[in-house]
Structure 1
Amino acid sequence: MLRLRRSELCGTDASAEAAHPWAPVSTRGLPSAPAAVPPLEPATHAARPKPPRGGAVRGGVGGGAVRRGLGRGPCTAGAGPWRGGARASGARRAAGPDAGGSVRGGCCARYLGRCLRRRRSALRLPGASARCGLVMETQPRPFQLVVLGASGFTGQFVTEEVAREQVSPGRSSRLPWAVAGRCREKLQRVLERAALRLGRPTLPSEVGTIICDITNPASLDEMAKQAAVVLNCVGPYRFYGEPVVKACIENGTSCIDICGEPQFLELMYWKYHEKAAEKGVYIVGSSGFDSIPADLGVIYTRNKMNGTLTAVESFLTVHSGPEGMCIHDGTWKSAIYGFGDQSNLKKLRNESNLKPVPIVGPKLKRRWPISYCRELNSYSIPFMGADVSVVRRTQRYLHENLEESPVQYAAYVTVGGITSVIKLMFAGLFFLFFVKFGIGRQLLIKFPWLFSFGYFSKQGPTQKQIDASSFTMTFFGQGYSQGFGPDKNKPNIRICTQVKGPEAGYVATPIAMVQAALTLLSDASDLPKAGGVFTPGAAFSRTKLIDRLNQRGIEFSVISSSEV
């Protein structure tokens, strides 16, 4: 960053200059410099010695390190008086006028001074005082949202949800957005399908189209430069997620994904959290059914308890119609690769060397692999998704950064009667055996319908199956009422809350993802102060996301609350 006299740049009066004669002025956003260095005017004091021959001029005037504010001018040949930038100008000021002539800051300073004087009126806010410095122009991005992978199975539902949100009654102006993928024809068909379902024949002409490929970093950069928030629907994320995260961070773009793979989510935090914070962008994973209902459900339960919440158990119940339920095999593949690579996840967690989060109140006891939930009158098994990993990371963040009391968490899924238990036991045994071997994983991927007993297929669910399905997630929490501490006391208050919504994978997930992205755009003041890689609960705990979800059909409610 160059230090120039404000009177030279902004036309300030002598009194202002006397107060801060060498106030820093950012050079970011200035016009590119010409290739040749402008000649210096004759010095009024002792002539400056010529630099040694062969010295390189880096980046041209106003380029290279000057634009990046590294304190070094473009004329960097040799050392000493030929260095530009703040340090050199400071040395010349200390040495007196005879050391550096009348041109402060070197040739680059003279050129920048002339540029700033010519563009003073354009760069300053209307009516702003000259004392306020300069306000640089910024180019708005053409799209607020870009759906990456819009032609995929889940991506087409996310595309439809964004199109629905674009013309929602509460929106004052239409949302500028685009779809992105490898094939323009497929993207066009997705838009035509959404237009037909929503009764908006002009939709394809209202939405931008960006052609990019996960294997082409340059195309991802171009895509990211055009978006404020990218909705990444390209999975499995362990194979295709990192290039998108990297491109978004490098280009100052926030990113939302619907990943349910703990290894990818935790690895992205360790690799990119600091880089995202430096750029001021938000990378928020697991923002679909995995794991917004669970993560925000725990936060909602904590907020509704009149006291301190210490432990929560959640029970997921999936309701289906007469045609049953089905899930696309993309989720099946993610589960196969995740279970097949559990050793690396354990290694990652061991290497992180995190301090344990303190336990408040009695330790939450884990249930048996098959247990009976009396409150719901159903058998249950542990939920094998990302919910536990995500909620624990959120509770760590809230405890370490916001000094909130951490909550213990366990997740289960109800499976109905004894017949369903036996069926799932056989499916689970087959899965856990085959997933250990390469050939077994290939068989699981090739025949998802067979090995999952019909729960997963390459075709995915039919529209009738989607329309007839829904989910309910019930939370049972315990804690201490106000004024009643955990020291040598048992929890004396219990609370039951519930999150319920439409079909989980292809209705609730797009709703959650789109509303999370809109929250990034609308509730910026309630987000964490610095950017980074976050869980949904860490990013949105103080925003209005729960209210947005309630309005879109994912309902949070309190069932009961009582003291023991």
Structure 2
Amino acid sequence: MSTDRQLDVIIFGASGFTGKYTIYEGIKVLAGLKWGIAGRSRDKLTKVLQEVEKKADKDLSETPIVIADVKDAESLKKMAEQCRIVVNCCGPYRFYGEPVVQACIEAGTHHVDVSGEPQYMESMQLKYNQQAKEKGVYVVSACGFDSIPADLGTVFLQKKFDGVVNSVETFLETSQKAKATGGAMLHYGTWESAIYGLAHANELRGIRSQLYPTRVPNFQPKLKDRPILHRTKFVNNKWCMPFPGSDRSVVMRSQRYFYDVEHKRPVQMRAYVTFSSIVEVIGVILVGAVFAIMTRFKLGRQLLLKYPRCFSLGFASHEGPKEESMENTEFALYFKGEGWEKGQELLEPSDQFKVPPNKKIKVKVSGTNPGYGATCVALLLSATTILKESDKMPSSGGVFPPGAAYAKTKLIEELCKNGFKFEVLK
């Protein structure tokens, strides 16, 4: 990559909901770097700069503006050629992600995004991993709330375990620091991504069969799925259901990398989300059932997209969450790890233990404003880590999940300096 590019970082899709908050967090996180913003409308980009400028009380009038459109491949290439890394906030990535990845690889420019769409992420790895490696380019997705806490939290747990980890279960807990003010919790773009992700979930089997033509051994003891609805003493006796996000798929890709390349026994993983009351659970089950049925049909998807607030019971909207609500939201991701004490390592990662697991660990990753504040901080720190510590990243480039990409870097330390907390509880 050329070292004499005009900018270090370009935030693409900067006039969107996520892009706006990425600019705001970028004032601090990108201090000392040359950065600009990009999108298809100069007027919208100028307007969002003025909005953030007012909120941050910071002069952004000299911020470079680059015009680029996902429907114009040449404009994307020209954008990528002007910087060392593109921070891509333009989703849904199923529709708009691949042209940006293509442009970045062609230009020899790194790329990070906050996709929570397994089909997109695994397709990009299947199609472009070799090209990115040859170009010395890193392409890393899931660099936000999906799935930095889960993936790097699992890496953190493995480092702290002092032995061999067999399985990890995660339990997501969210809460409000102050009385909720009402309003949506998700922006329309996230809702749209979820609709198309579920509608095309059957694509994953074919992608994975090509991505991983050989299967890993059937490790024992096998981590069993818990009941769809259950309570756990592990997190304050709360109600739990399987977490519908991309955490598990992202973590398993990192674990597969560690097995294939570093010859480490992969961790089995299951992800759950917690609820304080059965009333919340019933509401989620109703929305989830309607959502799952409607995404199977074109008319159903059209209705979900047209009336997000109605079909999500107010959880998603075109306006997105209110700033007060976002800033009052806290998250904690609890990890229950089980495995074997140090000194019982096997000669080969494919070998099986003859004794049951004899060690446990409890880890917690926490922070505030998971949807957009923490997500944007994690996204930007993922970008700056590539710029500063590429020598500690795998190979010379490629398409990676965050755990595999950043396991040997100082990203966890940087996250802890910027609002996150990684800790061993027990």
TM > 0.5 fold call: yes
Match in the other structure for 2:18: 154
Q: SS of the residue aligned with 1:338?
A: helix
* CA offset digits 1:475-526 (Å, max 9, x no partner): 0000100123663311111000000011111101001000000100111210
Separation (CA, whole Å) in 1 of partners of 2:109 and 2:311: 40
Match in the other structure for 1:98: none
Q: SS of the residue aligned with 1:250?
A: helix
Aligned 1:476-491 pairs, distance under 5 A: 476-484=336-344, 487-491=353-357
Separation (CA, whole Å) in 2 of partners of 1:224 and 1:507: 25
Match in the other structure for 1:298: 154
Separation (CA, whole Å) in 2 of partners of 1:242 and 1:438: 23
Letter in 1 for 2:60: L
* CA offset digits 1:321-347 (Å, max 9, x no partner): 422461111111101001111222222
Q: SS of the residue aligned with 1:505?
A: coil
Compute the displacement of 1:249 (Å): 0.1
- Across the aligned residues of Structure 1 and Structure 2, the Cα RMSD in angstroms comes to 1.4
TM-score, normalised relative to structure 2: 0.95
Whether the 8 Å contact between 2:228 and 2:241 is mirrored in structure 1 is yes
Match in the other structure for 1:529: 395
Equivalent position to 2:291, from 431, 437, 448: 431
**Are residues 1:367 and 2:223 paired?**
no
Whether the 8 Å contact between 2:13 and 2:88 is mirrored in structure 1 is yes
Match in the other structure for 1:133: none
The answer for unaligned runs of 5 or more in structure 1 is: 1-136, 168-173
Letter in 1 for 2:181: E
The answer for unaligned runs of 5 or more in structure 2 is: 346-351
More deviation in 189-198 or 249-258?
Answer: 189-198
Q: SS of the residue aligned with 1:234?
A: coil
Separation (CA, whole Å) in 2 of partners of 1:422 and 1:166: 43
**Are residues 1:549 and 2:415 paired?**
yes
Aligned 1:486-505 pairs, distance under 5 A: 487-505=353-371
Letter in 2 for 1:251: A
Separation (CA, whole Å) in 1 of partners of 2:2 and 2:371: 39
**Are residues 1:418 and 2:278 paired?**
yes
Q: 1:403 to 1:164 in 2, by over 3 A?
A: same
Equivalent position to 1:204, from 55, 61, 65: 61
Whether the 8 Å contact between 1:163 and 1:194 is mirrored in structure 2 is no
Separation (CA, whole Å) in 2 of partners of 1:490 and 1:509: 38
**Are residues 1:318 and 2:318 paired?**
no
Separation (CA, whole Å) in 2 of partners of 1:476 and 1:328: 31
Whether the 8 Å contact between 2:392 and 2:408 is mirrored in structure 1 is yes
**Are residues 1:390 and 2:250 paired?**
yes
Q: SS of the residue aligned with 1:204?
A: coil
Compute the displacement of 1:138 (Å): 5.5
Whether the 8 Å contact between 1:380 and 1:416 is mirrored in structure 2 is no
TM-score, normalised relative to structure 1: 0.72
Compute the displacement of 1:352 (Å): 3.9
Aligned 1:370-381 pairs, distance under 5 A: 370-376=229-235, 377-381=237-241
Whether the 8 Å contact between 1:382 and 1:412 is mirrored in structure 2 is yes
Whether the 8 Å contact between 2:91 and 2:97 is mirrored in structure 1 is yes
Q: 1:442 to 1:227 in 2, by over 3 A?
A: same
Separation (CA, whole Å) in 2 of partners of 1:138 and 1:330: 34
Separation (CA, whole Å) in 1 of partners of 2:321 and 2:129: 36
Match in the other structure for 1:7: none
Q: 1:468 to 1:520 in 2, by over 3 A?
A: same
Equivalent position to 1:177, from 10, 14, 35: 35
Whether the 8 Å contact between 2:86 and 2:111 is mirrored in structure 1 is yes
* CA offset digits 1:504-563 (Å, max 9, x no partner): 111010010000001001112101132110110111000000000000011100010xxx
Compute the displacement of 1:177 (Å): 0.4
Match in the other structure for 2:205: 346
Compute the displacement of 1:461 (Å): 0.7
Letter in 2 for 1:350: S
Letter in 2 for 1:152: G
Separation (CA, whole Å) in 1 of partners of 2:335 and 2:276: 18
Letter in 2 for 1:548: E
Separation (CA, whole Å) in 1 of partners of 2:121 and 2:395: 21
Equivalent position to 1:193, from 51, 65, 70: 51
Letter in 2 for 1:545: L
Match in the other structure for 1:288: 144
Task: Using the aligned pairs only, state the percent identity.
Answer: 41
Match in the other structure for 1:218: 74
Structure with larger Rg = 1
Separation (CA, whole Å) in 2 of partners of 1:348 and 1:138: 33
Aligned 1:1-80 pairs, distance under 5 A: none
Separation (CA, whole Å) in 2 of partners of 1:310 and 1:521: 33
Whether the 8 Å contact between 1:312 and 1:408 is mirrored in structure 2 is yes
Whether the 8 Å contact between 2:113 and 2:143 is mirrored in structure 1 is yes
Regions of 4+ moved over 4 Å: none
* CA offset digits 1:151-175 (Å, max 9, x no partner): 00111001111112234xxxxxx21
Match in the other structure for 1:231: 87
